[in-house]
Chains A and B, each alone.
Chain A
Amino acid sequence: MGKSRTLNLGTGTFVLLGFAALFFLTTQTTSRGLPFMSPPHYDLTAKFDNVGDLKVGSPVSMSGVEIGRVTKIDFDESDFKAVVVLRINAKYSQIPTDSDASIYTQGLLGGKFIGLTAGGADTYLKDKDQIDFTQSAFVLENLIGQVLANFTKSKADAPAADAAPAPAPADSKAAGKPKAAEKTK
């Protein structure tokens, strides 16, 4: 009897440990806690021209402090904009209605996040409200494309002033690049 007791105790402890580990993995290492464990919150929406690689689960921060997460990204066909649903912790209930939302990048090549900048209004955003002032994601490829285009344009202008800024000579290696960048857009 004594032996069977220690055996059952060992099995029980092991199974408990195993499930505790599974629970830890699903709730602590991922951004998704259990639904009944999520703190009180309210939802805001914001429309962006371009969300870049913003993902569901990306943080929403204000002055660098995380105050919520992106819970849904959808496309609105009526005005061709991306609709992002932000779930804000109910603790932060005093966000002015004229605040603006911008999409920033963590580090140079890090993931995207939404930064809110407080406005000056006396009224505060409530559940299901929309943030009207938004600024789209900064897409690195577009910027590189523009820089390259400018670069080749100035190069093409220098030797032959009569040539229009249009199609650069085919033998120029750099000229091919902005075209390729535009194609992938």
Chain B
Amino acid sequence: MNALRELWQSLTDSLEKLGSVIQFLLRLTVNSPRALTRFDLISQQIFNCGALSLVIIMLSGLFVGMVLGLQGYDLLQRFGSEEALGEAAAIGLVKELGPVVTALLFAGRAGTALASELGLMRATDQISAMEMMAVDPIQRVVVPRFLGGVIAMPLLAAIFSVIGIYGAQLVGVQIMGVDAGSFWSQMRASVTLADVNEGIVKSLIFGVACSLIAVYQGYYATPTAEGVGRATTYTVVTSAVVILFLDYLITAAFL
């Protein structure tokens, strides 16, 4: 009986959490148009979330692409169709690996930074101070960070995919000796605009999800050292699960 009550309790708790996250998202959306007038703030956050994540994204993209090239070549040459390597690597990167791996790295690199920054602001009473000066912290601090993340994410995913394709080309063509012409022409023949669109839609949705989770965890962090640490951890864990869950949903919707 007790276990049942605890189960019910945790169920209602998580529903309550979900509700408050969605309410927070609505608040951010309502505040977004006005925040767009202070574009310098958003631009600074695009720099923080995007430009500073560029190195890790490009390096990971290169290695993911190279692994794809190697694995893809090994698998395809068993069927004597290693020319399809370009097609396999491009579709894999553009539709799946680009958005998903970028979002996971984004959660680890930018999401944690956002959450701990906001959490520390909360812990050091900077947010309360803003409220006392009649500055809306949501408007001034949270929304620019959220929008910066949402804008940066699709761009990062696109960069990841392009570097990945070149990584696959590097291994497949330069090392394994697949013909460069058929590598690119088979890719062009089979990748459609719909595939690219799917990748862009995915990365946009992941961008919203990751940024939302990060700013939510940071903004509502318990104002202690431990609370900030927990907010950062939860940001990564929740983002990873939500990204993979959403990935399944979006893929199913696109098929």
Q: Give residues in A with beta carbon < 8 Å to B.
A: 7-8, 10-11, 13-15, 17-19, 21-22, 24-26, 28-32, 57-59, 66, 107, 110-111
Contacts and interface: CB of A to CB of B under 8 A. Distances in A.
Interface string B142-168: 000000000110111011011001000
Among B47, B54, B200, the most chain A Cβ lie within 10 Å of the Cβ of B47
Interface stretch (B5-13, B16-24, B183-191, B217-225): B183-191
B37 interface: no
Nearest to B148: A11
Interface of B: 43-44, 46-47, 50-51, 54, 81, 90, 94, 151-152, 154-156, 158-159, 161-162, 165, 185, 187-193, 195-196, 199-200
B51 A14 contact: yes
Nearest to A107: B81
Contact of B159 (A18, A28, A57): A18
B43 A57 contact: no
Contacts of A21: 155, 158-159, 161-162
A30 B47 CA distance: 30
A11 B39 CA distance: 12
Nearest to B194: A30
Contacts of B192: 30-32, 57
Contacts of A28: 188
B254 to A, nearest CB: 16
B47 A18 contact: no
Given A13-B51, A25-B199, A111 B190 contact: yes
A52 B228 CA distance: 60
A41 to B, nearest CB: 16
A82 to B, nearest CB: 20
A66 B44 contact: no
Given A25-B161, A29-B165, A14 B190 contact: no
Contacts of B46: 11, 14-15
Contacts of B155: 14-15, 17-19, 21-22
A110 B186 CA distance: 10
Given A26-B193, A32-B192, A58-B189, 19 more contacts: A7-B44, A10-B51, A14-B54, A15-B155, A19-B155, A21-B161, A22-B158, A22-B200, A24-B158, A24-B162, A25-B199, A29-B187, A29-B188, A29-B196, A31-B188, A31-B189, A59-B185, A59-B189, A111-B190
